[in-house]
Amino acid sequence: MLWMRTLSFALAAGTPLAGLTAEERIHDLPGLTVTALEKTVSGPGLSVARFEAPATAEGGGHLREALQRIPGLLVQESFGGIDPPRLSVRGSGIQSAPVSRGIELSLNGFPLSFADGSFNLALVEAGWLDSAVLAGGPAGGVPALGGSLSLWTAAGLGTEGGSARIVYGSNRTVALLVRQAAQGESESLGAEASWTHTDGWRERSAQRRETALAVARKGLGEGSEATVQLFVSRPRFDVPGPLPKSAALEDPRANFARVVQDKPRRETDYAQLAARVTTDLPSGYLSAGVSASYHEDSFFQLLPNGITDTRGREAAVFADARHEWAGSPRQETDVSLRARTGSTDADRYATDGGRRGVLIGANRLRPTTATATMDHRVFVADYHSVEAGVSLLAARRRIGERFDRAESTAQNLSGTKAAPRVAWVYSPQDDLTFGLSWSCGYEPPTFDDLLFTVFDPPPPVPELRSTALRWQRADSLELTARGTHGEFVWTAAVHFASWRREFLRLRDEFGAARGTVNADRTVHAGWEASANRLINEAAGISWYGWATWQFNEVRFDDDPVYGRNRLGGVPRHAGAAGLRGESSGGWFVAPGLFWQAGKNFADHANTLSAGGFAVGSLEAGRKHPSGWEAAVRVTNLFDRRYIAGTAGVLDEAAGPAQPIFLPDNGRRVEARLAYSW
């Protein structure tokens, strides 16, 4: 079972994803010598540490629970359901509000991020997830300074069999998830579908989502395989809105008057068709693919930000190759190519009591992002290897004006950057590895960075504006380590990055965007660690434990305005821990803990903050040998009131009454009944 597997961690060692146990879950067609996961996740850029961990959420739609075992990945809830949480890695992504950015996202090896670098996590069904791989930091070939997060479902990994699951819980939460896989001699077909609904814990927080995923594989001869994936998702959710600090702690279910009047919500339709062909070569492999997607999105925000309707199409091509050179010393070369482009029509309206008011802007958005990466690795001795590589990144952001206005929002920004990196790895023994690397990375802006509304009443109608931004850059130094001692596996990484021109999204006292600006210099430093262990096996009962911990020091570097203040939106300490015991008869119990420590500032001036918290969970049930499973899961076990995060980041809060904080859900109880075959 996935939860019984020990966490594996791969450093820049001799083989990609060295030490990962994902091969146990990969459908291995005859003749394939390198797993599908290896060929679509590893690629070049092994100078960054890769963390692989189980990603399971037995309930419906709770991504924080699904991703909590990945060290270095900070997941801050928004409203506690299918709505997208804020993801950040080493401080990248903390500016994600209301649109997520800063991390490159993929699903089963196919791109899920949009061509401008943004993504929508509400599309992803957490109950499908099987595992996740995080390559943190300015990873080679990834135009996002947080690195890449690869999500894998059972269908994407080719897991055989099927299952059906129903979940019912607090706030009239209902989730239905079905999975079926069929396998032939050289082909397989897997499909997953889900339906989720909840009334929500807070006022005006109802949510629902329907998703479907199908993955087909076909062997094309010895060493070759074709994969086709169809992914469809339709999330709908209300946005209850932020609260002042006192209200978030004393009356967290409530909303302030503006939310009741403007009825903020988001509705998205998304479909993607993607294909990939992978083949083994005499001295390596080649993998290439394409994807096409269509999306419609209506985002009803509060009066200062208006309502945005978008309709767009995107296409992507991608390829990875490896060549293993003959002779001594052993050498490998990896090459990767990525290109995404699209066209989206975006219409912006004023908010009129939760309905579309007057049109305030209309644009045609045309993003293009391309990367070409090469890495060369030399194994200079039995215990040492060195690597050098470079990524060429090119991007263009075109904003076309479709609205008659005095001040045009049209922009045509483009650029090309080269990002080098070097690394050294020392492996004195199979169960101990150290790595030291330096890497440079760049990230171009998203359209949400370039377009914003200005709200200065009277009159109570926002105006759409645009701004020009330079690419943000990070130079990162990283020391990583991994050790395995019997049933104990530990990982650690210490990192320091100097950022230039970091994107800062600012908001005023009304909650309206003031636009994104390039900061001067900032520092992103810290560490992340994890530990996993089979604690005890006795009397027919097995106990497993795991824990993750990360520390982030994200601050200005002698800024003329903010000095050495911390950037808002990221706590200093965060972590999670879990324990699971299971008997030979299938009975199990699993307590867990999620925590944050230190002030989480809502503004860069560091005048308003929320404190830390520790929240427990408990799950218990039985998995019967016949395939039936029944369980009860309780989150926020002691019904604590706490602040999960902030709705964006301010430059300077207007005072303690500033509505910027997001309270997390109270105690939530869910019962689960499932059958696997």
pLDDT per residue as tens digits for the range 394-446: 999 999 999 988 889 999 999 999 999 999 999 998 889 999 999 999 999 99
β 104-107/628-635 pair status: unpaired
Pick the range with the lowest mean pLDDT from 6-10, 241-245, 284-288: 6-10
For the entire predicted model, the pTM comes to 0.90
Are the CB atoms for 266 and 300 separated by under 8 Å?
A: yes
Question: Quick one: average pLDDT of 83-88?
Answer: 88
User: If pLDDT is split at 50, 70 and 90, which confidence band does 81 have?
Assistant: confident
Backbone angles phi, psi at 379, to 5 degrees: -95, 95
Mean local confidence (pLDDT), 441-464: 87
DSSP state of 543: E
Residue 499's pLDDT is 97
- Under 8 Å between Cβ of 283 and 223: no
**DSSP secondary structure, 428-475, as one string:** EETTEEEEEEEEEEEEPPPHHHHEEEE--SSS---EEEE---PPEEEE
**242: cis peptide before it, omega within 30°?**
no
**In a 3-state reduction of DSSP, which class is residue 4?**
helix
Output the pLDDT for position 132: 87
Distance CA 435, CA 424 (A): 6
pLDDT tens for residues 604-641?
999 999 999 999 999 999 999 999 999 999 999 999 99
Judge contact between 50 and 135, C-beta under 8 A. Answer: yes
Residue 57 confidence class, pLDDT cut points 50, 70, 90: low
Q: Is residue 49 over pLDDT 80?
A: no
In the predicted structure, residue 22 carries a pLDDT above the cut 50: no
Each residue's pLDDT tens digit, 539-586: 889 999 999 999 999 999 999 989 999 999 999 999 999 999 999 999
Q: How confident is residue 470, by pLDDT bands cut at 50, 70 and 90?
A: very high
pLDDT score of 27 more than 80: no
- Average pLDDT for residues 158-163, to the nearest whole number? 90
> What's the 3-state SS for 575-592?
EEEEEEEEECCCEEEEEE
**Distance between CA atoms of 156 and 26, rounded to whole angstroms?**
9
Q: What is the pLDDT of residue 54?
A: 67
Q: What is the maximum span of the chain, computed from C-alpha positions, in angstroms?
A: 78
Residues forming beta bridges with residue 55, ordered by sequence position: none
pLDDT confidence of 80, banded at 50, 70, 90? Answer: confident
Q: What angle (nearest 5°) sits at the alpha carbon of residue 542, between those of residues 539 and 545?
A: 145
In degrees rounded to 5, what are phi and psi of residue 409?
Answer: -100, 5
Backbone angles phi, psi at 302, to 5 degrees: -65, 165
Nearest residue to 675 via CA among 627, 622, 631, 621 = 627
Question: pLDDT category, 278, cuts 50, 70, 90?
Answer: very high
What letter does residue 117 receive in the DSSP assignment? S
Residue 83: predicted pLDDT:
85
* Distance, CA of 29 to CA of 35 (rounded, Å): 9
| Alpha helices (runs of H) in 12-157, residue ranges in sequence order | 36-37, 63-67, 154-157
pLDDT of residue 140: 66
How far apart, in whole angstroms, are the C-alpha atoms of residue 261 and residue 360?
20
Most confidently modeled range among 99-108, 504-513, 550-559: 550-559
**Residues 510-516, mean pLDDT to the nearest whole number:** 65
Average of per-residue pLDDT across 192-211: 94
Q: How confident is the model at residue 512 (pLDDT cuts 50, 70, 90)?
A: low
> Which of 443, 553, 415 has the alpha carbon at shortest distance from 497?
553
Indicate if the alpha-carbon torsion angle 355, 359, 361, 365 is positive or negative: positive
The pLDDT of residue 31? 25
List, for residues 121-135, the tens digit of each pLDDT value: 999 999 888 888 888
Find the angle CA(397)-CA(83)-CA(120) to the nearest 5 degrees. Answer: 25
Given a contact cutoff of 8 angstroms between Cβ atoms, the answer to whether 482 and 426 are in contact is no
Under a CB-based contact definition with an 8 Å cutoff, are residues 376 and 327 in contact? Answer: no
Instruction: Go through the domains of the chain in sequence order and give each one's CATH number.
Output: 2-676 (2.40.170.20)
Give the tens place of pLDDT for each residue, 641-667: 999 988 888 888 888 888 899 999 999
pLDDT of residue 159: 86
Contact 439, 419 (CB under 8 A): yes
Q: Is the pLDDT of residue 11 over 60?
A: no
Q: Count Cβ atoms within 10 A of the Cβ of residue 581 and give its class: 0-12 exposed, 13-18 middle, 19 or more buried.
A: middle
Q: In this structure, which long-range contacts are made by residues 539-542, counting pairs with CB atoms below 8 Å and at least 24 apart in sequence? A: 540/583, 540/584, 540/585, 541/581, 541/582, 541/583, 541/584, 542/4, 542/581, 542/582
The rounded distance, in Å, linking the Cα atoms of 507 and 579 is 41
Can you count the helices (H) and strands (E) in the chain? 6, 38
Separation of alpha carbons 436 and 385, rounded Å: 11
Range of weakest confidence among 334-338, 347-351, 402-406, 580-584: 402-406
Check if the beta carbon of residue 264 is closer than 8 Å to that of residue 313. no
Strand partners, 544: 534, 580
Closest C-alpha among 133, 143, 110, 146 to residue 16 = 133
What is the pLDDT at residue 51?
60
Mean pLDDT, rounded, of the chain: 87
Mean pLDDT of the region 173-183: 94
Residue 540: count other Cβ atoms within 10 Å of its Cβ.
Answer: 9
Chain-centroid distance, C-alpha 112: 10
Mean pLDDT of 186-215: 94
Tokens 């004195």 identify what position? 428
Q: pLDDT-based confidence at 29, cuts 50/70/90?
A: very low
Question: For 589-604, what is each residue's pLDDT tens digit?
Answer: 999 999 999 999 999 9
Residue 230, strand partner residues: 214, 273
pLDDT top residue among 329 and 62: 329
What tens digit of pLDDT does each residue of 308-320 get? 999 999 999 999 9
- pLDDT reading at 2 higher than 70: no
Token digits of residue 615: 């929240």
**63 or 292, which is more confident?**
292
Rg of the chain on CA atoms, in Å: 24
Q: Give the distance from CA 577 to its chain's centroid.
A: 20
